[in-house]
Amino acid sequence: MTADGSRPGLDADARQRLIAQARQRPTPLRAVPTPAPVRATAFDRLPDYDTLTKMRAVGAMMGVANPFYRSHDGRASATSMIDGVEVINFASYDYLGLNADPRPAAAAHVAIDTYGVSPSASRLVAGERPVHGALERALARHYRTDAAVVFVSGHATNVATIGELLGEGDLILHDSLIHNSVMVGAKLSGASRRSFAHNDLGALARLLAENRSQYRNALVVVEGLYSMDGDIAPLPGLIALKKQYGFWLMVDEAHSLGSIGATGLGSFEAFGIDPSDVDIWMGTLSKTLGSTGGYVAGSTALVDLLKAQASGFVYSVGLAPAMAAAALTALDILHAEPDRAATLQSNAQLFLDLAAKAGLDTGTAIASAVIPVMVGDSLLAAKLSERLLARGLNALPIIYPAVPMQSARLRFFITSAHSPAQIEAAVRITKEERDRLLAEGFGCDLSKMMDL
Ligand code: PMP
């Protein structure tokens, strides 16, 4: 505005024209026929809600309490307090026991005192805090890559990274057991998507032979350690295929960081491969590192691009400084105290050995952080979890739709903080309660009951 209140650059004629325009009456709208009223579907009429209600009704009929959203009274690690009762806890990602360690929490306190709780806005506009850069440099050193970037959520990391890098005319191939965040990112990207049978390199090679040449860029995504089955991706074979067919290889290290490899460095250590053979190392700060958030480590150009354009980075708030500080301290501890990973792995081996003797089916799990005990039926899994809680064990059921209807299981997260006595109790009580439930005739085909 100028001193007289007029807009600079507008001469008197232009001003008059604008005033005249503003005074003009709006042209009356042509009458349009009123359409018949359309009602938005009430949420409780949606088919998914119907399925949910039926599942709950069947659970209630069979006397099974909802096993989810149990409230913990304090810090969860090898043990936890639920409703005032101490239980042995197998339901936390705390693979190296760092949620019970005072050092990451102390680092988070210092960060809150220094920067406050909030990261304020997207890092693009709110700017960085030095701890963001320090954590990213530490992650890049860990994977021996040029650069790394941290996101506010692990799920958003996959969605935004895949959604940014691929598009129409590209191809995404992923393991059939891949995490939901990869599927959501693939859908968002608009690229063609195919899944191959779990860990089946032959199936992947066939898909590549048939399809690769028809697409511009191709991405193959696997998990270092699978979150529901506890087995690992065959990385050397994948790298050989990559050299033959030319695709980007992305490895989700959410569960493998800290838990596989002799000192817990993850998939590259477990297989003794050169980390530069993987194009995109993705992981979360929420498992071993005991914080929240996600990361991508890779080339400078990859990280530059994500920081400039990836939706979940540019249009979302930055990682809270306290979360970054806790994750950085946890990563330092992972490197400085390699025995933690060895303890976790020997606890897991003990679990597998005892489970095999007890006749419990642990599927394809290796001696690491995730061990399922296969149950089959979803209601049996939920009831078993309830009985275990009554005997002082917290292990959660994984049921449909997270796994196929008849592949329900109890999932045990094993940590370095568990004692051998706690592992022994877990297997013994699980076997006793499973056998009791089967003897009581518990176990029914949930899919049939849902069609009531
Ligand atoms: N990838 C995998 C393999 C996961 O299991 C998870 C969640 N458990 C994620 C990504 C998402 O991570 P976050 O929970 O930290 O958002």
Check residue 52 and give its pLDDT: 87
Determine which of 48-62, 96-110, 200-214 has the lowest per-residue pLDDT on average.
48-62
Mean pLDDT of the chain: 93
Kindly state the average pLDDT of the residues 97-126: 94
Residue with the larger pLDDT of the pair 167 and 442: 167
Ligand 1, atom 14, residue with closest C-alpha: 154
To the query of whether residue 255 is one of the catalytic residues in this protein, the response is yes
Place of tokens 């946890």: 330
Opening angle at CA 221, ends 216 and 222, nearest 5: 160
Percent of the chain with pLDDT over 70: 95
Check residue 22 and give its pLDDT: 78
Q: What is the band of 447 on the pLDDT scale with cuts at 50, 70, 90?
A: low
Q: What is the band of 124 on the pLDDT scale with cuts at 50, 70, 90?
A: confident
Check residue 347 and give its pLDDT: 98
Q: Do the beta carbons of residue 262 and residue 341 sit within 8 Å? A: yes
Locate the ligand 1 atom nearest the alpha carbon of residue 284 and give its number: 15
- DSSP 8-state assignment for residue 427: H
pLDDT tens readout for residues 351-364: 999 999 999 999 99
Ligand 1, atom 16, residue with closest C-alpha: 154
Given the residues 92, 181, 195, 227, the one annotated as active site? 227
Indicate the length of the chain as a whole number. Answer: 452
Has residue 51 got a pLDDT over 90? no
Given the residues 132, 155, 242, 287, the one annotated as active site? 287
Check residue 448 and give its pLDDT: 58
Check residue 444 and give its pLDDT: 58
What gap in Å lies between CA 185 and CA 187, rounded to an integer? 5
Please state whether beta strands 85-89 and 393-394 pair in parallel, antiparallel, or not at all (unpaired): parallel
Check residue 43 and give its pLDDT: 93
64: closest CA among 394, 379, 390, 416? 379
Q: What is the Å distance from ligand 1's center to 154 Cα?
A: 5
To the query of whether residue 385 is one of the catalytic residues in this protein, the response is no
Q: Do the beta carbons of residue 72 and residue 82 sit within 8 Å? A: yes
**Residue 220: beta bridge partners?**
173, 249
Determine which of 28-37, 109-118, 227-236, 338-347 has the lowest per-residue pLDDT on average.
28-37
Has residue 28 got a pLDDT over 80? no
Q: What is the Å distance from ligand 1's center to 295 Cα?
A: 11
Per 3-state DSSP, the chain is made up of helix, strand and coil in percentages (nearest 5) of 45, 15, 40
Q: Where are the beta strands (DSSP E) in 197-345?
A: 218-223, 248-252, 280-284, 294-298
Q: What is the band of 120 on the pLDDT scale with cuts at 50, 70, 90?
A: confident
Pocket of ligand 1 (CB under 6 A): 153-155, 158, 179, 181, 223, 227, 252, 254, 284, 286, 294
Kindly state the average pLDDT of the residues 235-240: 98
Q: What is the Å distance from ligand 1's center to 284 Cα?
A: 6
Ligand 1, atom 5, residue with closest C-alpha: 227
Sign of CA dihedral 145, 147, 150, 155: negative
177: closest CA among 219, 226, 233? 226
Q: Do the beta carbons of residue 221 and residue 178 sit within 8 Å? A: yes
Cα dihedral 326, 331, 337, 342, rounded to 10, equals 110
Determine which of 5-9, 71-75, 268-272, 377-381 has the lowest per-residue pLDDT on average.
5-9
Check residue 361 and give its pLDDT: 97
Has residue 74 got a pLDDT over 60? yes
Q: What is the Å distance from ligand 1's center to 444 Cα?
A: 31
Q: What is the Å distance from ligand 1's center to 349 Cα?
A: 24
To the query of whether residue 291 is one of the catalytic residues in this protein, the response is no
Q: Left, alpha or beta for 120 (phi > 0: left; psi -120 to 50: alpha)?
A: left
